[in-house]
């Protein structure tokens, strides 16, 4: 099932852990609608801007899978409102800054970044139908820090879009 121009339900529900544990990780109709909104309003603009395919590492998670991962029951992944991802060839810090400046979202969390290694970590973003807070956080081993780390180089601030 297609959720948006470039994103499908199977890639937003795919989980190696669910497969290994024979967990059926399928959203209901309300969760699918939330995934459509997330793909349309967040993932598609990112895909269009950077012009390269994006493979989500974690999208929707049923409660059983979410608990197995050690995440809280209140995770937006369980509602179909959150996705974790990276883009090959784009620094996660740069990606997070672009998203913070150009998208409407509830939370944008840069997880486990390293200033000297733009490939470290990943970006978590959640988006609700209404009432998005636009909150930016960074998660490090010792907890959350408000905001995003500074960009290391000036040219990272405005990444060049590629052709789609």
The pLDDT confidence band at residue 114, using thresholds 50, 70 and 90, is confident
Beta strands at 107-111 and 82-85: parallel, antiparallel or unpaired: unpaired
For position 142, what pLDDT does the model report?
85
The pLDDT confidence band at residue 163, using thresholds 50, 70 and 90, is very low
The predicted-structure confidence for 84-95, as pLDDT tens digits, reads as follows: 999 999 999 999
Q: Which of 30, 29, 26, 32 lies closest to 13 in space, CA to CA?
A: 26
The whole-model pTM stands at 0.89
Q: Could you give the C-alpha distances from 102 to 41, 95, 129, 158, in angstroms and in order?
A: 11, 11, 17, 11
Q: Catalogue all structural domains in the chain, each as residue range(s) with its CATH number.
A: 9-152 (3.30.1380.10)
């Amino acid at each position: 099932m297609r959720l948006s121009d470039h994103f499908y339900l199977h890639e937003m529900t795919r989980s190696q852990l669910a497969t290994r544990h024979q967990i059926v990780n399928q959203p209901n109709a309300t969760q699918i609608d939330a995934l459509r909104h997330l793909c349309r309003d967040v993932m598609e603009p990112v895909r269009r801007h950077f012009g390269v395919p994006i493979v989500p590492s974690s999208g929707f998670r049923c409660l059983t899978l979410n608990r197995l991962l050690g995440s809280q029951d209140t995770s937006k992944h369980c509602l179909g409102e959150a996705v974790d991802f990276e883009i090959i060839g784009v620094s996660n810090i740069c990606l997070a800054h672009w998203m913070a400046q150009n998208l409407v979202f509830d939370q944008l969390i840069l997880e486990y970044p390293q200033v000297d290694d733009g490939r470290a970590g990943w970006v978590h973003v959640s988006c609700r139908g209404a009432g998005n807070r636009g909150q930016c956080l960074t998660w490090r081993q010792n907890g959350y820090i408000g905001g995003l780390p500074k960009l290391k180089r000036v040219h990272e601030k405005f990444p060049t879009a590629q052709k789609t």
